[in-house]
Structure formats: C-alpha cells, structure tokens
C-alpha cells in the first residue's frame, strides 16, 4: 500500500459507487443505491440538478433524454432539459427501461427521496452539484435540504457527507455557507493552484487518467479546509488493475461503476 493522507490505521480505502452501483442498475436511481447496499458498499456518489419549479432531483445529464423516456412522453419539447420540466412532469418519466426491462417504472428521484434511501442503508454520500451555472443558489438550497433531512447534524458532518463539483466557485460557496461540510473539487488543477483551493476544499478529485504517484504526493503536501492533508479521490475506475495501480499511488478513495470489482481488488488496502 502507498502513502496515505487521512485514513485511520486499519481503515479500508473507501470505494464509492458512482451514480450508485451504475454498472448493475440504472444510474442515479434508488435502485442503484439499493444495489450498492446489497453489494455491501458504504459510499454512493450522485449528481444533483433542479427542475423548472425548483425541486432538487438526482440526474447526471442536463437533459432528460438519455436516461428517461421523455422523448416518447413529451415529444414536442426537445432538447428536454431538466430545468424546463416541472417535478410533476419528471415524476411521470421512466428512468429504468433504458437500462433494462427489469427496471421499468423506476423514477428520477428527488434529492429528498435519494438522501433518505442512502440514510436507510446507513451509507455515506458524495454529492455532486452538477452544472451549478444553470441553477442560481443551488448550493444554499442543497444545504437547506440536507439540513432538513438530518445530514448536517454535528455528529454526521465530516464523516458521512462530501459535497463536490467541477465548479470551484460552487464549492467555495458551499464552504462559506456551511464551513463544517467536507468538500471536493473535481478535476486536476496544477500544483500551483492547490494552495488557493485548499482554503475551501478537502479533496481534489481527478480522473484516474490524471493521477500519478507524483500528483497524489504533491496534493497530500497541502492542508485542506479542515486541517488535514488534502485528499485525492479518483474516478471512474472499473477494473482491478487500475484500482490497484491508483491505490498504490496513495489515493484516498476510488469512485467506480463496479464497486464489487474494485472492493475485491483492493482487499489488501
Ligand atoms: O464523481 C466523479 C464523477 O462523477 C465526475 O464525472 O461526469 O460522472 O459526473 P461525472
Ligand atoms: Ca458525478
């Protein structure tokens, strides 16, 4: 095992189910959360966006087209952007049939439904604020919902929740609104940029293609927003060899569509 930044002795390397266990169930649905739980996976990742009438929903693309039957149900409304549909309209859509007939009738979950399902399984959540430029004030709204659902209670704050985004501005806003929340910045900024980001983030979360032993070590030198070494959590690693390679570089977590494969590969870590 390589150098570690922030794990306790004996603590396993976190394996995070990307969009839920999305190789086995439709991404970003309650079924994908359930599948991760069934596999014994303690962390799930999701993507949060907002409907026309202001409901937070869990979906990856800014359009409903790829992962629902929206074209069939609302044929005249291309390009079927999430932000142009109400929550009630989205609730009618089938978000499972595209993945497989066994998932017909699966819905796009609201964030409230999603966090409650994660809670039910006693899992932890890596929540991505997706496309924040499309949704003014989504950071405040997301934190309010998390607070209402019990996710910001002091005993839970740093242990079970991370809020990440590709937008540094969004993550900075989350940190300023709720300094206790652990945050992650997606992407692979240059080492020169890290001191600035480390004032408001705890993790740097790059594609595995951008990860090297040198980069991980360089990130670990800096102290993150909560006074511990900046962590590196990498995505999206779906094979055993890559999982072992990035673990050997000392990453602090692995995001994967195949969490069982990665967990089994990382047994020694
Ligand atoms: O959590 C990392 C990963 O989800 C970022 O990429 O496009 O899958 O949201 P994307
Ligand atoms: Ca994501």
Q: Domain ranges in the chain? A: 15-57+109-265
Q: What is the pLDDT of residues 56-99, one digit of tens each?
A: 999 999 999 999 999 999 999 999 999 999 999 999 999 999 99
Low-confidence ranges of the chain (pLDDT < 70): 1-6, 155-156, 158
What is residue 251's predicted lDDT score, i.e. its pLDDT? 98
Residue 121 annotated among the catalytic residues of the structure: no
186 lines ligand 1 (CB under 6 A): yes
Q: Ligand 1: which atom is nearest the Cα of residue 16? A: 1
CA dihedral 141, 201, 177, 81 (to 10 degrees): -20
What is residue 2's predicted lDDT score, i.e. its pLDDT? 42
Q: Ligand 1: which atom is nearest the Cα of residue 126? A: 1
CA separation, residue 227 to residues 14, 176, 238, 254 (Å): 20, 16, 31, 22
Among 28, 236, 253, 259, which residue has the most ligand 1 atoms within 8 Å of its CB, making it the best to mutate?
236
**Residue 98 CB contacts under 8 Å (≥ 6 apart), including other chains:** 26, 66, 67, 68, 69
What is residue 7's predicted lDDT score, i.e. its pLDDT? 73
202 lines ligand 1 (CB under 6 A): no
Q: What is the ipTM of this complex?
A: 0.98
Residue 226 annotated among the catalytic residues of the structure: no
Q: Whose CA is nearest to atom 2 of ligand 1?
A: 235
In contact, 48 and 54? CB cutoff 8 Å: no
Pairing of strands 161-165, 124-129: parallel
CA distance 100 to 81: 23
260 lines ligand 1 (CB under 6 A): no
Question: What is the CATH code of the structural domain delimited by 15-57+109-265?
Answer: 3.20.20.190
In contact, 246 and 210? CB cutoff 8 Å: no
Whole-number Å distance, alpha carbon 205 to ligand 1 midpoint, is: 9
CA distance 218 to 165: 21
In contact, 128 and 46? CB cutoff 8 Å: yes
Q: Whose CA is nearest to atom 10 of ligand 1?
A: 60
Among 23, 45, 165, which residue has the most ligand 1 atoms within 8 Å of its CB, making it the best to mutate?
45
46 lines ligand 1 (CB under 6 A): no
Q: What angle do CA 209, 214, 218 make, to 5 degrees?
A: 110
- Give the number of other Cβ atoms within 10 Å of residue 3's Cβ: 12
In contact, 59 and 51? CB cutoff 8 Å: no
CA distance 31 to 173: 31
Could you tell me where the beta strands, DSSP code E, fall in the chain? Answer: 15-17, 43-50, 56-58, 124-129, 161-165, 182-186, 203-205, 231-234, 253-256
47 lines ligand 1 (CB under 6 A): yes
Residues with CB under 5 A from ligand 2 (ion): 47, 128
The bound ligand whose nearest atom lies closest to the alpha carbon of 61 is 1
Whole-number Å distance, alpha carbon 53 to ligand 2 midpoint, is: 23
């Amino acid at each position: 095992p390589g150098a570690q930044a922030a794990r306790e002795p004996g603590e396993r390397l976190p394996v995070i189910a990307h969009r839920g266990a999305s190789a086995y169930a439709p991404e970003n649905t309650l079924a994908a959360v359930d599948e991760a739980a069934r596999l014994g996976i303690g962390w799930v990742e999701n993507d949060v966006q907002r409907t026309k009438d202001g409901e937070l929903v869990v979906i990856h693309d800014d359009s409903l087209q790829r992962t629902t039957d929206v074209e069939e149900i609302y044929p005249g409304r291309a390009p079927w952007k999430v932000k142009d549909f109400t929550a009630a309209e989205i609730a009618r859509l089938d978000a499972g049939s595209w993945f497989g007939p066994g998932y017909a009738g699966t819905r796009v979950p609201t964030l409230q439904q999603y966090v409650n399902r994660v809670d039910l399984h006693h899992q932890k959540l890596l929540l991505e604020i997706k496309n924040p430029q499309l949704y003014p004030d989504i950071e405040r709204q997301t934190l309010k919902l998390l607070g209402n659902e019990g996710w910001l209670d002091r005993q839970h704050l740093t242990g079970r929740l991370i809020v990440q985004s590709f937008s540094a501005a969004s993550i900075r806003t989350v940190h300023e609104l709720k300094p206790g929340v652990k945050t992650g910045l997606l992407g692979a900024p240059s080492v020169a940029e890290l001191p600035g980001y480390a004032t408001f983030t705890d993790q740097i979360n790059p594609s595995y293609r951008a990860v090297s032993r040198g980069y991980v070590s360089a990130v670990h030198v800096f102290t993150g927003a909560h006074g511990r070494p900046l962590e590196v959590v990498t995505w999206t690693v779906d094979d055993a060899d890559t999982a072992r390679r990035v673990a050997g570089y000392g990453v602090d977590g692995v995001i994967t569509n195949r969490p069982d494969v990665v967990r089994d590969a990382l047994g020694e870590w």
